Structure 1
Amino acid sequence: MSEDISDEISVRIDEKCSDLSDAWRRQSIFKFHSKLRCENEMAYEPQVVSIGPYHRGKPKLKKMEEHKVRYLNMLLLRRKESSAKKYVEAMAELQEEAKSSYADEINLSDGDFVEMLCLDGCFVIEFLRKLCQPKLYSENDPIFQMSWLISATKRDLILFENQLPFVVLQKLFDMTKLRGEEENLNDLAIRRLSSLMPGSYPGQSSHSTIPAGYKAVHLLDLMHKNFTASFSNTFRDLKHEPTKTLLQKPVIELVHIGTKFKRAIISESLLHITFKNGVVKIPPLFVDDHTESIFRNLIAYEQYMSKPFETRRYVTDYISFMDLLIDSPSDVEKLRNSDIIRHGLGNDKAVSVMFNKLSSGVSNEVPFCYDEIFVEMEKYYRCRILRAYLMQKYFHTPWSIISPLAAIVMKLKLWG
């Protein structure tokens, strides 16, 4: 191969690498791979409203397109503005930055893309405001005439594939700020959407747990950060290679033999599970029709946004831990009787099936968030076995705990 041809090819490849690397760093909104979708595709699909380009134009979502225009028109009327021109111009300026957030192909012209940013973005902002201030919506607003539609819309705004870049929402929020509206967009979204997050009970108040000024990439990122913030603060920064997770050992015996489960009375996070003196304390979880969808999107977000061996996957690990506890409806019943789980799914089997399938197609990478719990369990049961052995051998005292624990003595010796 001649030197001229080599130089030409090298230049072409270098240009391609330069273009790709810059785009890759900014991508934050993806379409899920088939392994995640196969268990429950509808968990990732919007039910009533499309936000962003991935689900735009689907027949079942077209009815809401008219409401988007109505919301923008109501916004203009409230602000005594006769045209949306300044909002269109603002979105046009953000067009390239917004496009770079999407990892998959966008089949929209530049004009259609800008129109989508304007209509979808104003709809999201106005919907969140209306949730806070009922005086902003009219009696004829069909979304606020039916509670299920409010709930379905809130759920759709959290879906990973159904996102706008947060910079778009922030710009429109700032441009349309209400007189006397002191709340920032982070707080507004968290207050109005957190009620759908796992661990929230009907009527429970929501508040932000993330640092002030946190720059989210989209609404799901914001909700994930708020959901995991207080739990993540319990971990030190990883400065070394993590240890091999105990999940790869036969820990199921440790979880089920002699372990008691109690509801954690005080806990800032659903994820904060603890073990002490043979008792696992678990914060209460309320399961409803949206729980599986929210969990699946949080897990998928972690699969796409986390760096293996560097970033903890808090929600993924929580589901893996709960899957260890729940094998059948009877396990759900035990947790329900301990007031750890409440649900509105009709029967315990539906809850057990949900947990057993949530981890399908998900990679479990180290570090595992609950390694320390299994370490403490192992220490606890080693001490109990040793005590029982000594009492029998040296004090000839009947010790009833020997029988149920004898089955795991050999395993514990092997682990040592």
Structure 2
Amino acid sequence: MASLSASIKKKFEKLPTLSDRCCIYRVPENLYKINQNAYRPWVVSIGPFYHGDKRLFAMEEHKLRYLRSFLGRTKTYSMEDYIKTIKENGKVIRQSYAENINFTDDEFAEMVLTDSAFIIELLLRSYDSGKIEGNDRIFYKPRMIVEVIRDMKIEENQLPYFILKMLYNLAIQPNELYGDQFIDVVCKFFNVDYSSESELEIKHFVDLLRKFYLPSSPRHWTPEGLKLEFCASATELRDAGVKFVAKESKSLLDIEFNNGILAIPPLKLEDITESLFRNLIVYEQCHYYFDSYIIDYIAFLDFLINTPKDVEILVRNGIIENWLGNNEEASNLFSSLFKEIRLAGSNFYYSGICQDLKKYSNRRCNQWIALLKHNYLNHPWATISIIYAFILLILTIIQAVTGIISNIQTCPRGS
């Protein structure tokens, strides 16, 4: 019994220290099984989770070429200086990952340096595209840069932002070409706008993208929480009189409902959209479970979209730009995205909008007007016919009233 006790205590000693720096997670198995391809890099591994993957081996040579170019950008710091910086921060970098990284210090430093230099060099070449060499195998090969950018948005394929910024600041002195900060180069690469004052809060690139998509108005926390309200489909809402309008906004999540008008920022659906949303969802499920804006947004769209007909309504009103081929694929996408997702169940961001939509839809007069428009006023000739019939009805009433008055006037008194 004593030996068993000692054995268990030794296991305690080997347990890695848990850190609040953890921000790079493995995809939960229940989500991974739905669409494995959406969570895996296609061409390049970044960080330890996919390091050594045979599928991605072809990019390792390009990484070394980029590392060599990166090292040549400054004579102030040598490769040894970068390795020293990485090793000094090795423990903190490892703590960013949700599982223990079984690399030696040298192996880990080499991987971090190679991947960091690849990312920084990629960002700089994109920032100053005029200086890209004609034989660059990433920027001058069809689809390659698109797939690399896609892989840099994978949750399992991340390096901590702070080490990228640290190495960048050693190699690149601020100047007119590259802006004042690393964040300028990053934001231009991902085509996002982000406040440099909040740069310290960025954990990695997926975190940056999530922050970019956050709505302009934060959720209003209440002690009792906000009940999760379900919303009717786009077809049902249209039939109840709701009008859909595309709204110009910096954030996809800035949805509004006022006076019967549901205003939604336009969303472009293309091949890489599913991967982006899935990885943002995974990150929120693991890191922002009780503050999940992206998940709430996907839930709201899932409420709206049940059939291809719902997609058609949103496409017709400029809210969805569908590059997936047909409306059925778009409908299936949202049904699939929301599978196995765990909603916190309280403080749902769109609860207020869902409640207002339900109240508006339940008003009889709105339903009647919508039914009239949908069934009888959806064609110019139908509209003209109704107007003509209405005029005839008025004239008939006037004629009848005039006849009654005339009869009363001609009727003998006292009879």
Task: Give the TM-score of the pair, scaled to structure 2.
Answer: 0.80
Deviation (angstroms), 1:80: 4.3
Distance 1:298 1:87, change over 3 A: same
Q: Please point out which of 194, 206, 223 is paired with 1:240.
A: 223
The one of 71, 78, 85 equivalent to 1:90 is: 85
Q: How far does residue 173 in structure 1 lie from its aligned partner after superposition?
A: 1.0
Q: SS in structure 2 opposite 1:339?
A: coil
Give, in whole Å, the separation in 1 of the partners of 2:251 and 2:108.
38
The equivalent residue for 1:409 is none
Counterpart in the other structure of 1:299: 281
2:337 aligned with 1:363, yes or no? no
Rg larger in structure: 2
Aligned length: 366
Percent identity at matched positions?
33
Select which of 324, 327, 334 maps to 2:306: 327
What is the CA RMSD across the aligned residues, in angstroms? Answer: 2.9
Spell out structure 1 runs of 4+ moving beyond 4 A: 15-20, 80-83, 250-254, 399-404
Taking structure 1 as reference, are residues 388 and 24 closer, same or farther at Cα in structure 2, changes over 3 Å only? closer
Q: How far did residue 257 of structure 1 move? A: 3.8
Equivalent of residue 190 in structure 1, options 187, 190, 194: 187
Query: Please, which moves more after superposition, 78-87 or 289-298?
Result: 78-87
1:114 aligns with 2:109: yes
* C-alpha contact 2:308 2:330 (8 A) present in aligned 1: yes
SS at match of 2:72: helix
Q: Retained in 1: the 8 A contact 2:187–2:194?
A: yes
Offset from partner CA, 1:217-257 (integer Å, 9 cap, x none): 111111111221xx153433x2523132113xx75596454
1:235 maps to amino acid? R
Aligned to 1:274: 256
Report the Cα offset of residue 83 of structure 1. Answer: 4.5
Kindly provide the amino acid, as one letter, of the partner of residue 243 in structure 1.
L
1:38-93 deviation per Cα after TM superposition (whole angstroms, max 9, x unaligned): 11111000011000000111112111111111111112233247951111111111
What is the TM-score when the length of structure 1 is the normalising length? 0.80
How many Å separate the matches in 2 of 1:113 and 1:81? 24
Matched letter for residue 358 of structure 2? E
CA distance in 2, matches of 1:299, 1:259: 32
Q: Secondary structure in 2 aligned to 1:262?
A: strand
In structure 2, distance between residues paired with 1:332 and 1:297: 23
Quick check: 1:66 aligned with 2:61? yes
Distance across 2 between alignment mates of 1:262 and 1:17: 59
Unaligned runs of 5+ in 2: 374-415
Question: 8 Å contact 2:241–2:369 — kept in the other structure?
Answer: no
Distance 1:176 1:374, change over 3 A: same
- How far apart, CA to CA, are the structure 1 residues paired with 2:78 and 2:193? 36
* Distance (Å, rounded) in 2 between the aligned partners of 1:162 and 1:302: 16
Kindly report which structure 2 residues correspond to 1:262-411, keeping only aligned pairs within 5 A, or say none.
262-308=244-290, 311=291, 313-365=292-344, 366-382=346-362, 384-385=363-364
Q: Specify whether residues 173 and 83 from structure 1 end up closer, same or farther in structure 2 by C-alpha distance, changes over 3 A only.
A: closer
Contact 1:259 1:280 in 2 (8 A): no
Conserved in 2, the CA contact under 8 Å of 1:260 and 1:279? yes
SS of 2:271's equivalent? coil
Provide Cα deviations, 1:159-196, integer angstroms capped at 9, x if missing partner: 100011112111111111145133422232122113xx
